Amino acid sequence: MSSDALFRIIQSFVFVAFIANRAYYNRKFPPAEEDTIEKQSETTLTKIANYFSILALISLLIYLIVPRYLIWASLPLPTWVRWVGVLLALDGFALLFWSHAALGENWSDQPRITTEQKFISEGPYRWIRHPIYTAFIAILGSSLLITSNWLVGGLWLVITSVDIAPRIKFEEEMVLEKFGEQYRSYLNRTGALLPHILMGKKN
C-alpha cells in the first residue's frame, strides 16, 4: 500500500468519525425547544458555509475515490508533516470528547440559551470558552495536512472558520446577558479558542 493510499484511508476514518460524533450527540441531546429562551437564527455567514460545505464534501469524495482528478491541487508536503496532521486530528477528537463530558446535557448543536442553562467552567472550559469549536478546527483543518491537498483541506478549514465566527458572537452575547458579571470575569481569564498562556492576550 502506498503512503497516499494510507492517508486517504486515514482521512476517510477521520471524516466518518467526526460525522458519527455529531450524529451521536444530536440523538443523545435533541434540541430542547420548549426550554429555549433564544437561539441563533441563520446568518449570511452560516448560509455561505452551508453552500460551500457541499463543495468541500464533493472535493473530499473526489480525493478519496479518484484522487488523480485533484492532483493539480496537491501540496509537496513531506510524509512526517502529514502524520502531524493525523496527530492534530487525534488531539481534536480528544478535546471534543473532553468538552462533551464537561458540558453534558448543556450541549446543543445549534447555539441557544435555555431556561436550565448552566454556567460551565470545568474541564477544558477552565481555559477556553469554546473548546468544541477549537476541536472542529483541529479535526477538519487537519485534512489540509493529511490529504496534502490545498483545495480539500483549505475548503474545510475556511468553512469551519466562517461557520463558528457567528456562533461565538451569538453565544457570548447571550451568555453574558444571562450570567452578567460572572461571565464577564470568565471572559477576562480565558481565551475564546486558545488559552491566554498561548495567545499572550485575550483573543
Residues in the chain: 203
Of 27-41, 46-60, 75-89, 188-202, give the range with the top mean pLDDT.
75-89
- Pull the grid cell for residue 34: 420548549
Contacts of 53 (CB under 8 A, 6+ apart): 159
| CA distance linking residue 62 with residue 156, whole number of Å | 14
CA distances from 46 to 36, 108, 110, 203 (A): 20, 16, 11, 22
Q: What is the DSSP string of 159-175?
A: HHHHHHHHHHHHHHHHH
Provide the H-helix boundaries in 66-191: 79-103, 131-141, 143-146, 150-179, 181-189
- What's the CATH number where 157 sits? 1.20.120.1630
Segment 74-100 mean pLDDT? 97
User: Residue 114 forms beta bridges with which residues?
Assistant: 36
The pTM (predicted TM-score) of the whole model is 0.91
Domain that residue 101 falls in = 3-199
Give the mean pLDDT of the chain. Answer: 90
pLDDT at 197: 63
DSSP letter at 203 equals -
Higher pLDDT, 64 or 114: 64
**Unique residue bearing C-alpha cell 461557520:** 163
Top-ranked range on mean pLDDT: pick from 26-30, 43-47, 63-67, 181-185: 63-67
Domain total in the chain: 1
184 CB-near residues (< 8 Å, 6+ apart)? 176
> What pLDDT shows up at residue 203?
42
Residues 113-134 have a mean pLDDT of 91
pLDDT confidence of 198, banded at 50, 70, 90?
Answer: low
Average pLDDT over residues 63-86: 96
Q: Please state which of the ranges 32-46, 47-61, 103-117, 143-157 shows the lowest mean pLDDT.
A: 32-46
Rounded distance between C-alpha atoms, residue 110 and residue 108, angstroms: 5
Give the Cα-Cα-Cα angle 186, 24, 191 (nearest 5 degrees): 20
Number of other residues whose CB lies within 10 A of the CB of residue 132: 20
First to last CA, the chain: 43
**Does the pLDDT value for residue 155 go beyond 60?**
yes
The more confidently predicted of residues 110 and 24 is 24
Q: Express as a percent the part of the chain with pLDDT over 90.
A: 61
Residue-level pLDDT at 36 = 80
